[in-house]
């Protein structure tokens, strides 16, 4: 009887192992919501330490959201830069570099980074919130 149980457990464990098409850390669909009073132009987003996880989002008007863009991996923090018209010219603002060490990835979700201008003088953007919109359905 014990042999039958052990063989059954081994058989179930072998049959349940299968390779997934996508890694559990991603992909993640990301969009930007501009919650400031000014338009973000030429928005660039980097969501992880991988060189492939950098994309140009384009322009995001104040109070609106961008389209979703797919990244291989994303974290609760991201490096986001945008050019903002300060009256005289376009000036680059940024969240600054991010250390992804010890950070938990988001996984297969559609998320929105809510971004605002936290310091005009230092040209600083800040992510105020990360909203998990819905699970990502992969085919």
Measured CA to CA, the distance from residue 5 to residue 17 in angstroms comes to: 19
pLDDT score of 82? 96
Identify the pLDDT of residue 126: 96
The pLDDT score that the predictor gives to residue 14 is: 65
Of 124, 134, 122, 102, the C-alpha closest to 29 is: 134
What domains lie within the chain, and their CATH numbers? 22-135 (2.60.40.2890)
**What is the per-residue pLDDT across 100-119, written as a single tens digit (0 to 9) for each?**
899 999 999 999 999 999 99
Q: 38-95 pLDDT, tens per residue?
A: 999 999 999 988 887 899 999 999 999 999 999 999 999 999 999 999 888 999 999 9
Which pLDDT score is estimated for 84?
95
């Amino acid at each position: 009887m014990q042999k039958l149980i052990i063989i059954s457990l081994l058989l179930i464990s072998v049959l349940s192992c299968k390779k997934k098409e996508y890694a559990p850390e991603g992909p993640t669909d990301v969009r930007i919501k501009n919650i400031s009073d000014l338009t973000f132009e030429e928005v660039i987003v980097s969501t992880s330490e991988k060189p492939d996880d950098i994309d140009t989002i384009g322009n995001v008007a104040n109070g609106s959201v961008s389209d979703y863009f797919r990244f291989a991996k994303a974290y609760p923090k991201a490096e986001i830069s945008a050019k903002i018209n300060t009256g005289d010219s376009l000036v680059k603002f940024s969240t600054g570099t991010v250390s992804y060490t010890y950070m938990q990835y988001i996984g297969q979700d559609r998320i929105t980074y809510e971004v605002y201008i936290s310091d005009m003088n230092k040209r600083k953007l800040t992510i105020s919130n990360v909203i998990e919109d819905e699970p990502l359905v992969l085919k």
